[in-house]
Amino acid sequence: MGIAYEADLENRIDAVLALAMLYGITGKNEARNIAFSISRPNIKAAQFADVVAGFYGGRAAGGFAMIGMPERGLPADASSLILATLQRKTTEGGPAYTSNISRVLDTADNAVLTRNQLLAQNDGNATIVLAGPATGMAKLLGLYGSRPQLEAKVKQLVVAIGAFPSGPPDTSIKADVAAARKLFAEWPTPLVAVGAEVGAALPYPGSSIEKDFSWSPAHPVADAYRVNQRMPYDAPASALAAMLYAAHPDDGYFKLSAPGTITVLDDGRVQFTAGAGGKHRYLIADPAQTELVTNLYTGFVSAQPVRGGPGRGRGAAPAQQQQQQQQTPAPQAAPPKPTDSVPKPAEAKP
């Protein structure tokens, strides 16, 4: 299965973990990561995504060549987890991480990138995972000729937003209620939602950050986790559940609701109405699978990368991109010593 992923890295540590999981799944040849986009126009978030992509080996690891980013939409200031990770220094004072992205032209339009990568897939052999505002997915729906292409290529859309069967407002939905409403109303393929209740029932264990990442003294995902909140903490992880289900939908790790229809309310809440003809379902955590799922989370997220060379940028011609992929090494983490300091989390704002 080819997986295209779009996520809000600025505000969701589980979305960052799910990006690492996507590389872990790909490295074990259990799926392919065909595209990744950030859901808000923020160059720092794009740089962070590029650092993670370079750390995991880019296209040589079966990954994507470009980072997708919307040119317009709902901007957001880069969060402390992104800025502190990008600003990490080695003990010698140099940058621990570097990015190939310095301007918008070094990225791809998120909706166009996803559409183009889907076209390269066999029919029914792609899944899209969304963990953030639905702005980019709504734009994808509006691209010329996209709907028959989505129907042909996409097996299902898996969205890590909402709370089911009903619950409190969701910040990703509130960021663009109109886009979320359009997504649930018009998406042409089966859609599976992963709510906040699944993330709470199956969190990512913070102990894994200290235990399972010791093979690398500088790891951008582990650094972001440490900065996001005062350690130790377990992070609610609906995005990880969505990614695991996308790669292994038939393996029984989760239960599924009956079919029905999800609607979006004005305040960012969702409402599920069961109905035999509905295209929507929501994921349900299975208590009997908690230990297995948690072990899969930590195993995939902490998996060591396959190194290689990326080629990225919306400003380069395809031939130039291909030459880059063959000749340009991936941005590597500088060789910091194990004693490097990691920035402490910023104090929470009221």
Task: Report the CATH number that the domain containing residue 79 is assigned in CATH.
Answer: 3.90.245.10
For residue 130, being part of any structural domain is answered with yes
Lowest mean pLDDT among 40-49, 111-120, 141-150, 299-308: 299-308
Pairing of strands 260-264, 191-193: unpaired
What is the rounded CA–CA span in Å between residue 66 and residue 178?
27
Handedness of CA 61, 64, 66, 67 (dihedral sign): negative
What pLDDT was estimated at residue 303? 95
For residue 341, being part of any structural domain is answered with no
Residues linked to residue 35 through DSSP beta bridges, in sequence order: 4
Residue 142: give the domain boundaries: 2-327
For residue 249, being part of any structural domain is answered with yes
| Total domain count, the chain | 1
Mention every residue, 6+ apart, whose C-beta is less than 8 A from residue 50.
67, 99, 100, 101, 312, 331
For residue 345, being part of any structural domain is answered with no
Helix, strand, coil fractions of the chain, as percent rounded to 5:
40, 15, 45
For residue 347, being part of any structural domain is answered with no
The yes-or-no verdict on residue 300 having pLDDT over 50 is yes
For residue 22, being part of any structural domain is answered with yes
Please compute, for residue 224, the number of CA atoms within 13 A of its CA located in the half-sphere on the CB side.
28
60-67 average pLDDT score: 57
For residue 210, being part of any structural domain is answered with yes
The yes-or-no verdict on residue 161 having pLDDT over 70 is yes
Mean of pLDDT over the chain: 86
For residue 343, being part of any structural domain is answered with no
